[in-house]
Structures are given as structure tokens and as C-alpha cells.
């Protein structure tokens, strides 16, 4: 696990882009259409989900930084 993914449902429009294009299959979609982090341990922190989200509803932070805090 190298990245920590946070999703802000308030801005998410449930387009599915983040989930579909995650190279590691980290994300999945809930019953009501929002993405969620299903397999956090597989996340490489590549950031594709963040930069492809049209609504700025995902941020990926480096996991190491997270531990230092």
C-alpha cells in the first residue's frame, strides 16, 4: 500500500471513471453508485484516479507521509 485514497461524496457525480481506470483494481462501486476503496493494500499511489476524476472528488496522498503524522 503506497497511496491513501480519499473520496468526497459531496462532489462525486458517480461517473465511474475512477473505478474503471484504476490500474490495480483498488476501487469498486457501492450499491448507490459511489466509488469506495475496496482493496487499499493494492494501491500504488499512481494518482490516475485523482487526475481523471472530472469533479476533483478524489485525492491520493502518499502513504508514508500519512504514517509520519
Partner 1 sequence: MTETTHLIHSYLRSSKRFPHVWCPGCGIGILMGALIRAIDHNRYSKDEIVLISGIGCSGRLPTYLDFNTLHTTHGRALTFATGIKLAKPSLKVIVVMGDGDAAAIGGNHLIHAARRNVDITAIIVNNQIYGMTGGQSSPTTPLGMTTSSSRYGNLEPAFDISRVVEAAGAAFVARSTVYHTRLLEQLIGKALHKRGFSVVEVICHCVTHVGKATHMNSAVEMMNWQRDNAVSVRKAGTLSAKQLEGKIVTGVLVDREAPTFHEEYEKLVARVGVDDSAV
3-state secondary structure the chain: CCEEEEECCCCCCCCCHHHHHCCCCCEEECCCCCEEECCHHHCCCCCHHHHHCCCCCEEEEEHHHHHHC
Q: Where does this chain touch partner 1 (CB under 8 A) — which range of 12-20, 22-30, 34-42?
A: 12-20
Site track 33-62 with partner 1 (rule: CB under 8 A), x = hit: ------------xxxx-xxxxxxxx-xxxx
**Closer by beta carbon to partner 1, 38 or else 55:** 55
Report the nearest approach of partner 1 to the CB of residue 3 (Å): 7
Amino acid at each position: 500500500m503506497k497511496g491513501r485514497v480519499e473520496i468526497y461524496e459531496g462532489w462525486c457525480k458517480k461517473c465511474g471513471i475512477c473505478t474503471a481506470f484504476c490500474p490495480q483494481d483498488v476501487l469498486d462501486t457501492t450499491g448507490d453508485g459511489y466509488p469506495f476503496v475496496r482493496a487499499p493494500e493494492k494501491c500504488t499511489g499512481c494518482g490516475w484516479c485523482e487526475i481523471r476524476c472530472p469533479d476533483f472528488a478524489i485525492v491520493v496522498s502518499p502513504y508514508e507521509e500519512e504514517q509520519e503524522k
